[in-house]
Amino acid sequence: MNKLAKEIATWREKKGFITTWDNMLEKLMLVVTEVSEAAQCFRNDDRKGFNEEIADIFIRLFDICGTLDIDIKKEIEKKMEKNKKRPYRHGKKMGDVVQ
């Protein structure tokens, strides 16, 4: 994962786009845009488009990780260990809104 993140960041840079801490809000909003596009594909029952938009989400996230030297594999493992300790349905009852 980390190698791919670095490759994506390098590819993005070669294409003339900039990702830095200073434009991170813009980059995060581009992730939101890709999620929205995936939702639209889902609503339209467009599985091919949905898959492509999911890939775009990961590309944008991996670019951020590769640029900021986030060890995403390690961060996911740490977060999953934390999640494993949470109660079933995070303590919510059936019918509660799950977030």
pLDDT digits (tens, 9 = 90+) for 41-76: 999 999 999 999 999 999 999 999 999 999 999 999
pLDDT of residue 86: 87
| Rounded CA separation 76/50 (Å) | 23
| Rounded CA separation 54/74 (Å) | 22
Q: Domain of 67: which CATH number?
A: 1.10.287.1080
29: exposed, middle or buried (Cβ count in 10 Å: 0-12, 13-18, 19+): exposed
Q: pLDDT grade, residue 3 (50/70/90)? A: very high
Q: Residue 89 falls within a domain, yes or no?
A: no
Q: Residue 98 falls within a domain, yes or no?
A: no
Q: Residue 93 falls within a domain, yes or no?
A: no
pTM here is: 0.85
Domain tally, the chain: 1
pLDDT of residue 99: 60
More confidently predicted of 92 and 42? 42
Q: Residue 97 falls within a domain, yes or no?
A: no
Instruction: For residues 8-35, give the mean pLDDT.
Output: 97
